[in-house]
Amino acid sequence: MSTTSPNELLRRVGVSLTGGPQHVNWSSVPVEQVAEGIERQMVVGVNLMIIRFRFAPFLVTPEHEHKHEQMSIVVSGRVRFFVEGTERIASPGDVLHFPPNCWHGATMMDEEVVLIDIFTPVREDFLKS
C-alpha cells in the first residue's frame, strides 16, 4: 500500500485537489507524452479519474490486468480490443467495461485513436510516472 498521500501524488502531476467540485476543459489539462505514440491527459478526483488518451495508428498496448475497474469510450478511430481471450472491434461511440482483474489489451487500427478511460480507484501508478 502506498504511503504517499493522494494530495502529494496529485501535486506531482500538477493537479490541485481541494476536495470540492471541479470544472475543467480538456484544452486546459496538461498533455503528457507517456511513450512513443501515446499522449495522456488526466482529471483526478478523490476515488476515480478520467483520462483522455491519444494513440498513434497501429500502436499496441500489451494485454494486462489491474485491480481497477475501468470503462473505455472510443471517441475516434477504431480499436481491436482483446478481452479475456475474445477479440472485439470498437468504433466511435462504443463503451467497454473492464471489471477489476479483467485480462485485456488493445491494438489501434489504421488511424489515430482517442479514448476516454475512467478508472476507480485512482491509478496511483499513473500519478507517479
Tell me what pLDDT residue 30 has: 95
pLDDT band, residue 22 (cuts 50/70/90): confident
Q: What's the pTM?
A: 0.84
Counting other chains too, the contacts that 97-104 makes at CB distance below 8 Å and 24 or more residues apart are: 97/69, 97/70, 97/71, 98/69, 98/70, 98/71, 98/72, 99/69, 100/66, 100/67, 100/68, 100/69, 101/65, 101/66, 101/67, 102/65, 102/70, 103/63, 103/64, 103/65, 104/63, 104/64, 104/65
Q: How far is CA 119 from CA 31, 79, 112, in A?
A: 18, 19, 22
Q: Span 5-29, mean pLDDT?
A: 69
Q: Amino acid identity of 96? A: L
Q: Span 67-85, mean pLDDT?
A: 97
**pLDDT value at 10 more than 70:** no
Tell me what pLDDT residue 11 has: 53
**Which domains are present in the chain?**
6-19+31-128 (2.60.120.10)
